[in-house]
Structure 1
Amino acid sequence: MKNLKTIALALLVVLATTSATAQNKKINVEKSKINWVGEKVTGKHSGTLDFKDGVIIFQKNKLAGGIFTVNMTSLTVTDIKAGEGKEKLEGHLKADDFFGTEKFPTAKLEFKTIATKSAELYTVTADLTIKGITKPITFDLNVKGNSATTTLKVDRTKYDIKYNSKSFFESIGDKAIYDEFELSVALQF
């Protein structure tokens, strides 16, 4: 009986120590930014998205996890001024041809595996959910102090966004939009 109590006490100490070393840091959604660039044969467009919420997790001062929600209804175009087609493009990107934000108002990213490349650089494999479709994505994340940055490419066709994709519509010529779009993410926590 005494051994059983000792084992139980040791287990409690280990569990308490483990949970005490984990740090969940909420991101500052006002200061964290997502910039996007989508390219087509005849040019490109850029814009922003806002985070709804997010947390980055550290274990013994090393990146251990993260989960983020993006407000897809916040999608804006920044390379066109109001009155020059900005509202039309934003509306089309929010429509079912692209992100269908009425039905899918959020996108999610959840870290699954993390490999340390150096003191401040990690390779993250995460599940990215867009339009209710979840696919794995891998990218490098640089963490320094209370910030983290990454640039990653997303293949939109994996999320049933096929509008003007040469992968699906071979004869569209110069109306083609490239399958990958780029995200530059800056987190503050």
Structure 2
Amino acid sequence: MKIFKGIAFATVTALMLSACGGSSNSGDAVVSEEKEAAEAGATAVVYTPTDDSQVTWIGSKPTGKHNGYIPVSEGELFVEDGNITSGSFTMNITGLDVLDLENDPNDDEDMYDKLTGHLMSPDFFAADSFPTATFEITEVKEFDPSTMSVEVKDQFETEYTPESAKEFMVENPTHWVSGNLTMRGTTKNVAFPAHVNKEGDKLTAKAKFNIDRTDWGLMYGDEASVADKAKDKFIYNTVNVGIDLTATPAEEVAEVQ
């Protein structure tokens, strides 16, 4: 089913698709300067993300990795004739959770608090100054595998090297998605493949891609500044990002609440 027409929708993090134009130093997805947002038509129906919508993340260093999610707190997607034509959503950075520590009974609660506190600090998200991140749709078009070119980033090999964009990407993508991701006061346009589907009044969008966190100013432990990587004293700049979004007509959400 054709879900998106003439738009794009992109998150977290910086990724793969040379066919979409532009590039990032991550060697994964297309990251470019901010672009004009798509506009909703007069007959568009508003869809609202459900409470379980979220953006997932995996951060890695040579000696281990952590994973978690950032909840989607609000948003609007505009749909016409079964196609998304524009929209945006907001991520609540202060609601970030670290799942591997929260769910591991062998980990000390202090470790969980220490890591979440560090991620909220100016070393990473600077949540006191930037408590939210946003994604604003600029274009979505049907997926054409013949135009896809994935450049695999050359990374320092360890047991915990982040999965490449090619390994990590969503299965059976249906669309190319792009949009303006604003995080920590910096806006970049990102593009990536996604699987989108509409069944009845339920709209879903799933994507998995990589970003270079330093494109948005998250510089702590920047691997590019490490003179001797054999010392393992760095955090990989590549972050594995996932979008798991479900939306229903706004009136329906209002009735449930």
Tell me the TM-score normalised to structure 1 length. 0.82
Deviation at 1:19, TM superposition (A): 2.0
CA offset digits 1:163-186 (Å, max 9, x no partner): 111113334631211112122221
Match of 1:44 among 65, 69, 78: 65
Asked if 1:174 corresponds to 2:232, the answer is yes
2:237 match: secondary structure: strand
Q: Deviations over 1:85-125 (max 9, x none)?
A: 0100000011000000011000011111211227x822111
The sequence identity of aligned pairs, in percent, is: 30
Aligned to 1:63: 84
**Residue 156 of structure 1 corresponds to which residue in structure 2?**
213
Q: Does 1:90 align with 2:106?
A: no
Whole-Å separation in 2 of the counterparts to 1:36 and 1:53: 19
Per mean C-alpha deviation after superposition, the further-off stretch among 161-170 and 39-48 is: 161-170
Q: Can you list the C-alpha shifts for 1:53-92, whole angstroms capped at 9, x where unaligned?
A: 0122223212322201100001111111452501000000
Counterpart for residue 130 of structure 1:
183
CA contact (8 A) 2:93 2:131 kept: yes
Alignment of 1:2-81 (within 5 A): 19-20=42-43, 22-28=44-50, 30-81=51-102
Which residue number in structure 2 is paired with residue 103 of structure 1? 129
Relative contact order, CA 8 A, sep 6+: which one is greater?
2
* Gapped regions of structure 1 (runs ≥ 5): 1-17
Compute the RMSD of aligned alpha carbons: 1.8
Aligned partners of 2:52 and 2:71 also within 8 Å: no
Is the contact made by 1:72 and 1:107 (CA closer than 8 Å) also made in structure 2?
yes
Flag the 1:148–1:92 CA change in 2: closer, same or farther, 3 A.
same
Check whether the contact 1:38–1:180 (CA below 8 A) recurs between aligned residues: yes
Q: Is the 8 A contact 1:162 1:168 kept in 2?
A: no
C-alpha deviations, 1:102-151, integer Å up to 9, x for none? 11000011111211227x82211111111000011111222112221111
Cα displacement string for residues 22-71 of structure 1 (whole angstroms, at most 9, x for unaligned residues): 2221111x121222111111111001111110122223212322201100
Structure 2: gaps of 5 or more residues = 1-40, 103-107, 145-172, 248-257
> In 2, are the aligned partners of 1:65 and 1:114 still within 8 Å (CA)?
no
- Opposite residue 124 of structure 1, the aligned amino acid is V
Report the TM-score, using the length of structure 2 for normalisation: 0.62
Q: Secondary structure at the match of 2:232?
A: helix
Provide the C-alpha distance between the structure 2 equivalents of 1:52 and 1:184, rounded to a whole number of angstroms. 16
Aligned to 1:107, the other structure's residue is in SS state strand
Partner of 2:140: 114
**Cα distance in 1 for residues equivalent to 2:185 and 2:175:** 27
Structure with max Cα Rg: 1
